[in-house]
Structure 1
Amino acid sequence: MGSRRGGGPTGRGGPEGDVTRGTTNPNRLRRMDRWIAATHAPALRRHDGPPVAVDLGYGAAPWTAVELLARLRRERADARVVGVEIDPERVAAAQPYARDGLAFVRGGFEVPVAGRPLLIRAANVLRQYDEPRVWPVWERLCGRLAEDGLLVEGTCDEIGRRHVWVALGPEGPRTVTFAARLGSLERPSDLAERLPKALIHRNVPGEPVHAFLRDFDAAWAAAAPYAPLSARQRWTRAVRALTGNWPVVDGPRRWRQGEVTVAWRALAPRD
């Protein structure tokens, strides 16, 4: 994953990490979950035995874990979800929602589940950390993944209209996805406020993510004639224009969902 290191996860002899604000709302992570179900479905289907997913830092209420299980089970009927929280009161409050295939345990970045999970989702968890702490956490979590596992780490607004996440495999970062309710955007760079911690402070001139958002805004402006058709048509046209200069790794089917996914190498922070 490279040589970026800083202050590591906290905690010795107990859960690793810090207690988050815990803010959560039903259906907040629908865009991330929809993307996970679409792109990680082949790995879910071919996995030997019931695939385990971890909802890391699910917050003060267990809605996101409950919803993740329902969405994964559309792809794999025996999928299991473990909600992991560092705050014991949150774990206790979630227990009434536990059922077959859904459990809640206390823990942190050590991910205290048996075996290696096929998916770890960490949404709105690392936003409170200093940037140098993110890299060791990524390494820690990627080290817990199954061979074909996926870590999805990102940030969204409180009702899930705007979301940006990084997808990582055991080897490290792979892609960055920008997703939005298109009617809520004035321009694509509105998503900058939801960049994950590894990128948010890099949205300055000279950094790749800043150049990408600048080009995206220019493509969006050039696609203004498509706005009367729909925001979706305008977004799709703007993303298509980006593909000439940026390694966009998905296609129109995802773009029509208000998404675009770009190879991590193109947006990675400069040393």
Structure 2
Amino acid sequence: MRLVRYGRPGKEKPGLVDEEGRLRDLSGVIPDIDASVLSDRVLRKIARIDYKTLPLVRSTPRFGVPVKGIGKFIGIGMNYSDHAAEINAPIPKEPIMFMKAISCLSGPDDPIQLPKGSKKTDWEVELGVVIGTRAQHVSEEDALKHVAGYCVVNDVSERAFQFEMGSQWDKGKGCDTFGPVGPWLVTRDEVYDVQDLNMYLELNGKRMQTGNTSSMIFSVAQIVSYVSRFMTLEPGDIICTGTPPGVGHGRAPQRYLKKGDTLRLGIEGLGEQQQEVLAFPKA
């Protein structure tokens, strides 16, 4: 299934994108898409519904973050060897973990706002993993059983804040609007091989990033297992799993986002995002 939340910010309703690509209202079935509906049992119950009986949404509403009430937004850095090479970073021996602030979450097509003082805001198309059931010290063999589904994430990053202001990455990762997620949550059963998904990002119509999840240093199963050793993963938590080469920080000359830029990014089978870049508002 492709599950969505649509409507004005803070007023989103649950929906489903059917096999013909039409948006249908799920609010008569579930109150929202949150931790309570992400288990395999509940998702199977929703999947058994004849989608043709669900009301069609005739308009073209805004899509919000496809999961409500996300508790943790976790990032994995340098997880593609060719991306590490482009920024002259060593291949990590263990997954590099950081946190993105929950307050940075935004809809897939909401604008990106450059933070105050930003000079090096960058883009990163990434596979997002949404946890469906509680995971604590899970094995790699069992890790994917705890995943509800997958989504597109733009791990927007301010490189000066990230690399030039101390050793912690978090301050460059969690600025407002730095976490576009969606357009939808694709349930695990719909993704045949999560380690073979094409991904791309375009800046102003020019291709910047081209990659495939097969190039990950650490697989999704390895990441979920690893992270669950250090923190309990709860339903609705999101892990973004690293980016392929082509980020602005790794280009020669370097290229960072500026007011008026537009981004288009997506992952095979998981949909597409589009964002306009806005300047920080003047007082």
Structure that is richer in strand per residue: 2
Structure that is richer in helix per residue: 1
User: Which structure ranks higher in relative contact order (CA pairs < 8 Å, sequence separation ≥ 6)?
Assistant: 2
Give TM-score scaled by structure 1 length.
0.28
